[in-house]
Amino acid sequence: MTTTNQQFGEEFKIGKVIERSYEIFSQNIYGFTFLVILFQIPAVVWSFSSGDYAINFEDEDAVAAVNWLDHYGIMFLSIILSFISDVAIIYGVFLHITGRAVTISECLTASIFVFVPVLVAGLLSIFLSYSGYLIYFMPEIYALLYHSNLTILLLMPGVYFGLYFFVLFPVIVVEQPGIIASFKRSSELTKGHHWSLLAVSLMIIAGAYGLGLLEKLIIVHTIAIGFDLAGVAMTTFIGSLYVAFLSVFFAITYYNLRAQKEGAPTDQIVSVFD
């Protein structure tokens, strides 16, 4: 049964996007969360076996002993795997929207099919988002920003590109226009909605920050009572719930943006499954 029926020209509202995202997520919560957990298993195992999960970055001695190769390797692997689970869930959302059964196997197959363009586009978007930090390689300019208390400006490229490429992965899944064309298409769809997307981006960041604090609290307490593995399992599950919901949210944002600008794209979405 189709749950999203926004009409052409209807105003794009974040509140409606969140409501529809929650509706679809709640109906597919087990499958979507499982997809995130499934893809994160290698990173979780690496983190647990290396002890990286237990690092207290507020402890100078602990930081001095960090194996940074492991630490950044786990982060990179987790990001790559999240790309795959993201598009798998996005595909599942469109299966749901078009009234089809959402199956794990079909979502997995779809994610593998678009893996290369998603990987390249995802890494490129990360590079662009963090491009402000290239200033670190320009000591004089960085020193000027630092002493002027303007280092926050380093975040501006990330904010700018993050808003323009907000629906990059859904574009790749549904329209498959090519990597560069996907960036352009995402920019076109988000044009005129940057303030509302900025507001929701801040909500996402705040949610991630709060989740990070909760996960840290869980890990600290479970380590203290000798249940490290249980702590890792709990934090992985909680984090996977949040990531899965965000994937649904990005898919519905894309759908509603297209509906507002061009009319509901149901026909093209249906063609993806033919």
Domains of the chain, residue spans: 14-272
pTM of the model: 0.85
**Using only C-alpha atoms, what is the Rg of the chain?**
20
Per-residue model confidence (pLDDT) at position 155: 67
d(CA 10, CA 34): 34
What's the pLDDT score for residue 160? Answer: 79
CB contact set of 272 (below 8 Å; sequence gap of 6+): 94, 173, 174
pLDDT at residue 134, rounded to an integer: 56
CA distances from 142 to 130, 131, 135, 158, 160 (A): 15, 13, 6, 17, 20
Distance CA 46, CA 228 (A): 14
The 10 Å CB-count burial string (b at 16+, else e) for 19-51 is: ebbeebbeebeebbbbbbbbbbeebbebbbebe
* Sign of the four-CA dihedral 204, 211, 88, 104: negative
Helices (H), the chain: 14-27, 29-50, 60-64, 68-97, 104-113, 115-129, 139-147, 156-164, 168-174, 179-190, 194-224, 228-262, 266-272
Contacts of 49 (CB under 8 A, 6+ apart): none
Give yes or no for a contact between 52 and 65, defined as CB atoms under 8 angstroms apart.
Answer: no
Average pLDDT per 10 consecutive residues for the chain, totaling 274 residues: 50 86 95 95 90 75 78 90 94 91 91 92 86 58 56 67 90 91 94 89 89 90 88 93 95 90 66 59
Predicted pLDDT of residue 1? 45
The conformation of residue 28, written as its DSSP 8-state character, comes to: S
pLDDT reported for residue 227: 86
